[in-house]
Structure 1
Amino acid sequence: MGEKHRVRFEPVGIEIEVDEDQTILRAAFEQGVQLMHGCKEGQCAACKSFVLEGDLDEIELDRYSTFALPDMEREEGQTLLCRAHAYDDLTIELLNYDEEVLRSGLPIRKGTVEVLANDPVTHDMRHLVVQQIAGEEIKYFPGQYMDFTVPDTGEVRSFSMANTPNRDKRFEFVIKIYPDGAFSQFLANRVKVGDRLEVEAPFGTCTLRENRTSDIVFVGGGAGMAPLLGLLRSLAERQVERRAVLYYGARTKADLCFEKELRALEDQIPGFRYVPALSEPDGDDWDGETGLITEVVRANEPDLEGKDAYVCGPPPMVDAAIALLTQRGMSEQNIFYDKFTTTGEPED
């Protein structure tokens, strides 16, 4: 362990202690401070912040993408908290934060889970169910994700929980199988019931804002189903009265999953609608929406002012959805999202 320094976050006035051997973001997680973040690998810029007080030479950055932090921005005092090591006391201005989430964070915990089920739900997605059997109890909010260590490699991959917190310490995931995926190929070819895996959680800020009562638009694709299903299940369990609609995009009818449950949720959540859409419906017996999911949203949502959105899926879909939602009047501050990638960022 290295020396410890104080890091203060403004404008919220929160202070944490940071060891030189850990990143500022990691230290915040361990102390239950839920800073905004995405990939945790210096790729997405979600944790970009500004150094208000402290010597920039006393901040060392692990490897990162200059797309996330261009050299000019770094010289001006901006930094990536997921890559930054503090070697002196600092004051950091948070450029992207949600005070409700920030102050309600849960400290991350490591543990061991045992596989209860590993079943296909489509030709290229698995429903993985595990139960924690060792370590401090991992608690989380619906919409958050868990890091899995790939055995024998040391690599870490991240997947969103599809279920709500429960006393049985069970966690459900919907995981896309990629041809070269480090974890997904391991899952497809080797993981069986009874296997044990090392995990760490919770991460992620795509959670329900409890102080909001506005209508919700959910937009998802692929394994983006996982966190959205967790959020919808939470609305149903707690009988939250917020009108909501889920727009979910797939290529063909065979790529849809959890159809029966989602239709049942239409009866359990007041005013909830499930709107699936197929981008390649040729040959399918399909009379529903067709086209890219963003185009389906465009056709059905002329005015989104005052509403909230949760967007989860591949980066191109997420970017297109955010652009559309803001064009239709939604405030960027009310758009919460997870971009699912195929490397060390959330691989879902």
Structure 2
Amino acid sequence: MAHTLKIKDIQNVTHDVKQFTLEKPEGYTFQPGQATEVAIDKDGWRDEKRPFTFTSLNEDPDLEFVIKIYPDHDGVTEQFGKLEVGDSLIVDDAWGTIQYKGEGVFLAGGAGVTPFIAIFRDLHKKGKVGDNKLIFSNKTEEDIILKEEFENILGDNFVNAITDEEPSGDHLFLDGFIDKEFLESQIDDFDQPFYVCGPMPFNEAVMGYLKELGADPDALVFEE
């Protein structure tokens, strides 16, 4: 069922990522990590649906999405960058993607971190963050989505890999791509759940390395 919902608030999260807060329909429910199809309620765009993950929690009064804007793609996400408070989005019902299956290691590439936001917010709210770890790959430091919030929730278990610039010297920034050696240096137990989400080349590479290192493929969860 499609719901046409007004945008209540838009905030800049990074230089090219925005947070959209929408009205929430009565009775609308979802689980942390779930996504939905979203379209812009404007002529020419209503049939252009794209999957986005909820970053709010089910008990929150509003719906929230964190969306990366690609101004040079001349497509839907470029249009998201032009939206204003009072515009509307068409939101379908929730469907399952990544679901939390216990304490483990989360590996995200860029905007692929979005399914993990609600999962970590939910665990934090329940006091159940435990020893979960997030390894987050970005091109530059300014690309890191919700850096301060992840630092607050995870502390030293929030690890950033920066690929396209020299790290600033902060111990959180590790220079280079996530490869097999990097994973070996950061993870001491490959017999635990692994959650992987990012662009397809990132997913395929990381899944391959994890399997080579002895991770059980059944423990690998990624967003298709």
TM range (shorter): 0.7 to 0.9
Which of 150, 175, 181 is equivalent to 1:290?
Answer: 175
Correspondence 1:163 to 2:56: yes
Q: What TM-score, normalized to structure 2? A: 0.88
Q: Is 1:184 the equivalent of 2:77?
A: yes
Q: Distance in 2 between matches of 1:152 and 1:256?
A: 33
- C-alpha distance in 1, partners of 2:149/2:197? 19
Name the SS of the counterpart of 1:140 in structure 2. coil
**More helix as a share of residues:** 2
Quick check: 1:237 aligned with 2:130? no
- Asked if structure 2 preserves the Cα contact closer than 8 Å seen for 1:294 and 1:317, the reply is no
Match of 2:217 in 1: 332
Pick one of 208, 211, 216 that aligns with 2:100. 208
Q: Distance in 2 between matches of 1:238 and 1:181?
A: 41
Pairwise CA distance, 1:293: 2.8
Which position in structure 1 is the counterpart of 2:22?
130
Report the CA distance between 1:233 and its aligned residue: 0.9
Q: Within 5 Å, which residues of 2 pair with 1:186-335?
A: 186-189=79-82, 191-209=83-101, 212=102, 215-240=103-128, 242-266=130-154, 273-282=157-166, 285-287=168-170, 288-295=173-180, 296-305=182-191, 307-335=192-220
Structure 1 alignment gaps of length 5 or more = 1-108, 340-348
Which structure is higher in RCO with an 8 Å CA cutoff and minimum separation 6?
Answer: 2
Q: Which has the higher strand share?
A: 1
Residue identity opposite 1:258 in structure 2: L
Deviations 1:30-77 (A, max 9, x none): xxxxxxxxxxxxxxxxxxxxxxxxxxxxxxxxxxxxxxxxxxxxxxxx
* Offset at residue 241 of structure 1 (A): 5.8
Q: CA RMSD in A?
A: 2.0
Post-superposition offset of 1:248:
0.3
1:30-45 alignment runs, 5 A limit: none
SS at match of 1:266: helix
Paired residues of 2:35 and 2:52 also in contact (CA < 8 A): yes
TM-score under structure 1 length normalisation: 0.58
Report the count of equivalent residues: 217
Would you say the 8 A contact 1:110–1:138 is kept in 2?
no
Q: CA-to-partner distance for each residue in 1:94-153, whole Å, 9 max, x for gaps? A: xxxxxxxxxxxxxxx4322221222222222222221225xx632111001111123323
Assess if the C-alpha contact under 8 Å between 2:132 and 2:154 holds in 1. no
**In the superposition, relative to structure 1, how do residues 229 and 309 fare at CA in structure 2: closer, same or farther (>3 Å)?**
same
**Secondary structure of 2:55's partner?**
coil
Give % identity. Answer: 25
5+ long unaligned stretches in structure 2: none
Output the CA distance in 1 between the equivalents of 2:108 and 2:152.
18
State the Cα deviation string for residues 178-203 of structure 1 (Å, max 9, x = none): 222532111112x1112122110212
CA contact (8 A) 1:117 1:193 kept: yes
User: Closer, same or farther in 2 for the Cα pair 1:123/1:188, shift >3 Å?
Assistant: same
SS at match of 1:202: coil
Q: Could you say what secondary structure the match of 1:281 adopts?
A: coil
For residues 291 and 186 of structure 1, what CA distance do their matches in structure 2 show?
A: 32
SS of 1:132's equivalent in the other structure is coil
